[in-house]
Amino acid sequence: MEPLSIAIIGCGPAGLAAALLLARQGHSVAIFDRFVSPGPVGSGLMIQPSGLAVLAELGLAGEVVRRGARVDALQGIEEHGRCVLDAPYAALGLPGAFGLGIHRASLFDVLFEAAERQPGVMIWADHAVAGSHCDAAGRRLVFEGREPSSPFDLVVDASGWRTHFDPAPKNILPFGALWASLTLAAGDPFAGNLLEQRYRRASQMAGVLPIGTRAGGGGPEVAFFWSLKAEDYPAWAATPLDAWKAEVLRLWPALEGLLARIETRDQLTFARYAHRTHPAPVGERMIAIGDAWHSASPQLGQGANMALLDAWSLARGLAEGRTLSEKLRLAAGWRSDHVWLYQWVTKLFTPLYQSDSRVLPALRDRVLAPLSRHWPAKGIQAQLMSGLFGFPFAPLGLAPPDYAGLSASLTNAAASGEPQS
């Protein structure tokens, strides 16, 4: 394979994973990020079997698992105490399968540290990309307040859903979420191996996700989140914090101890989401991956996992295609059906959990929840949650993660006294 000079825009999971995979193929990779000190934004996320399979190919799955927290199921309970969502990974039929809750900082650290060690990868901070243009020598990046770059054979847009390279409206969703990373304490009434959620119809949702232990942290943490419409954020900001906590506790009284650790609004971050798909992810000497190509609500927890699959597909396309245009066409083609499927599934499912509708949550609780307890709906629900609906592995030449090996490494770490979550 002829080595290429490749620029990657964005130092998130998509950009870092792509840089590692492409540099290991012998390409010269430069990552450009607008932040003075590249780092993660946000709190917790879920690594599903789909994303874990890519991390295993990178040789990073064991380290990621050690920093995260094993999640065996997603459980959702409506305001009157009825379980309306029970999605165990055991229903996948993959022996030992689990999801992984992890702080974004922990995932970022593992990928970033690997990229810094990887020959052929350069990381350029404080380089805000404003555009690009092609000439006879290649594609050049245009920066804010800097001279344009030298030409690259390929530019990979991994800059997220706010990308400059898709001029279409971003379709920002009405519901966002307040997030906080909070340290667990002895006696906290949480299962520890579940993503737990509580719903009041679809207009209010609280959740607790175990996210492991950050390097240098004070112990195991959870990510707490509370759904909130963007138009209601100013009113929330003007409401006394204790009054808001009282509202949360009316939905989920067991959160009292956790909410007591939120002492100021600065501990909470309001996140916005967009549902969009770039109509042309492949251009001349350019391809979009991750949220720069497709973004959706976090309801199915697929953002980072889809990005990791895109990065793997890009590397495979560059390895198997003959011309650059064919390489990029293959990379996008192998992912297009899975992307299309999850964009539609997420669009259909999100209003069941985040909307002002009264009819949709009633449908969720009285029809879909009972159906999901029986075959084949139970298996389909588990596949949707895990990122395996649509069978994404086969086109990409990926295999499921070695859960037995990952579990054994955790057992060995515990026996030897190594730090773990």
pLDDT tier, 78 (very low <50, low <70, confident <90, very high otherwise): very high
Per residue in 212-237, pLDDT (tens digit) is 999 877 789 999 999 999 999 999 99
Per residue in 115-166, pLDDT (tens digit) is 999 999 999 999 999 999 999 999 999 999 999 999 999 999 999 999 999 9
pLDDT of residue 215: 84
Task: Kindly state whether residue 132 falls inside one of the protein's structural domains.
Answer: yes
Please give the residue that has the higher pLDDT: either 325 or 413. 325
Asked if 292 and 245 touch (Cβ cutoff 8 Å), the reply is: no
Q: Is the pLDDT of residue 19 over 80?
A: yes
Q: Is the pLDDT of residue 419 over 80?
A: no
Task: Kindly state whether residue 28 falls inside one of the protein's structural domains.
Answer: yes
Task: Kindly state whether residue 329 falls inside one of the protein's structural domains.
Answer: yes
**C-alpha distances out from residue 239 to 148, 174, 179, 271, 343, Å:** 47, 20, 17, 18, 35
pLDDT of residue 418: 54
Asked if 260 and 185 touch (Cβ cutoff 8 Å), the reply is: no
Counting residues of the chain whose pLDDT is more than 70, the rounded percentage is: 96
Per residue in 370-382, pLDDT (tens digit) is 999 998 999 999 9
Q: Is the pLDDT of residue 304 over 80?
A: yes
Q: What is the mean pLDDT of residues 3-19?
A: 97
User: How many Å apart are CA 232 and CA 240, to the nearest integer?
Assistant: 14
pLDDT of residue 415: 53
Q: What is the mean pLDDT of residues 233-242?
A: 96
Dmax over CA atoms of the chain, in Å, equals: 65
Enclosing H/E stretch for 395: helix 393-396
Alpha helix (H) residue ranges in 187-269: 233-238, 241-251, 256-259
pLDDT of residue 38: 66
Task: Kindly state whether residue 358 falls inside one of the protein's structural domains.
Answer: yes
pLDDT of residue 12: 94
CATH of the domain at 378: 3.50.50.60
From the list 164, 122, 155, the residue with the least C-alpha distance to 324 is 155
pLDDT of residue 145: 94
Task: Kindly state whether residue 206 falls inside one of the protein's structural domains.
Answer: no
How many structural domains comprise the chain? 1
Single pTM value for the model: 0.95
Counting residues of the chain whose pLDDT is more than 90, the rounded percentage is: 89
pLDDT of residue 420: 47
pLDDT tier, 421 (very low <50, low <70, confident <90, very high otherwise): very low
pLDDT of residue 410: 67
Task: Kindly state whether residue 197 falls inside one of the protein's structural domains.
Answer: no
Total length of the chain: 421
Task: Kindly state whether residue 114 falls inside one of the protein's structural domains.
Answer: yes
Question: 335 lies in which domain range?
Answer: 5-169+274-405
Task: Kindly state whether residue 45 falls inside one of the protein's structural domains.
Answer: yes
Of the listed ranges 5-9, 65-69, 330-334, the least confidently predicted one is: 65-69
